[in-house]
Amino acid sequence: MKIIQNLMSNLKNKLKKIFASTTVINEIKIKREIIKKITSLAKETHPKEFLAFFEGIISPTTIINDIFYQPYIANDKSAFPRLDIPLTTNTIGSVHSHPGPKNTPSKADRRFFRKTGIIHAIIRYPYKEQDIAFYNHHGERISVKIVD
Ligand SMILES: [Zn+2]
């Protein structure tokens, strides 16, 4: 049993890696209500950062359907010092806030993007719709279509 479990978890890890390295997203769709959740979560947690996870469907037209927020202890430098990512089958990425004027990923953000999910967003102060930037797991900007 133990051997089979180990084999299975090895296989899962391999599949995850293959998947992460070959799936590059260049364009996504996101529901307007999710955008609203992101802007209000960012405002509520300001001046602290927040971190939440995207749920959705990966397909030729990848769509983000839902977001779940995990309260965590923020420090000034990073939203995720050590975090157990609740990766369910539907978790496809993350969103976090920057209390300053930049929504570009830091070095730590890029490391996190590479390891976790395939779509990531950063929202900067003052947390309006146009302050959100989306990235693929390589940290490259991707275009986003907001749908109702
Ligand atoms: Zn960041």
Domain boundaries of the chain, sorted by first residue = 2-147
How many whole angstroms from 148 Cα to the centroid of ligand 1? 28
> Residue 124 C-alpha to ligand 1 middle, in angstroms?
9
Q: Which residues of the chain have pLDDT under 70?
A: 1-23, 70-89
Q: What is the pLDDT of residue 82?
A: 46
pLDDT the model gives residue 117: 84
CA–centroid distance, 142 to ligand 1, in Å, is 17
Contact 141, 134 (CB under 8 A): yes
Rounded distance from Cα 113 to ligand 1 centre (Å): 10
Give the pLDDT of residue 146: 93
Q: Give 24's contacts (C-beta < 8 A, 6+ positions apart).
A: 118, 136, 137, 138
Q: Is 139 left (phi over 0), alpha (psi -120 to 50) or beta?
A: left
* Ligand 1 midpoint to CA 33 (Å): 22
Question: Helices in 23-143 by DSSP H: which ranges?
Answer: 32-45, 107-115
Residue type at 146 in one-letter notation: I
For ligand 1, the distance from its centroid to the CA atom of residue 79, given in whole angstroms, is 7
pLDDT at 57: 85
Distance 48 CA to ligand 1 centre (A): 12
pTM above 0.95, yes or no: no
Non-local CB neighbours of 137 within 8 Å, separated by 6+ positions: 20, 24, 25, 93, 113, 114, 116, 117, 118, 119, 120
Q: What is the pLDDT of residue 115?
A: 84
CATH superfamily ID and name for 2-147: Cytidine Deaminase, domain 2 (3.40.140.10)
Q: Which amino acid is at 59?
A: S
d(CA 82, ligand 1 centre) in Å? 14
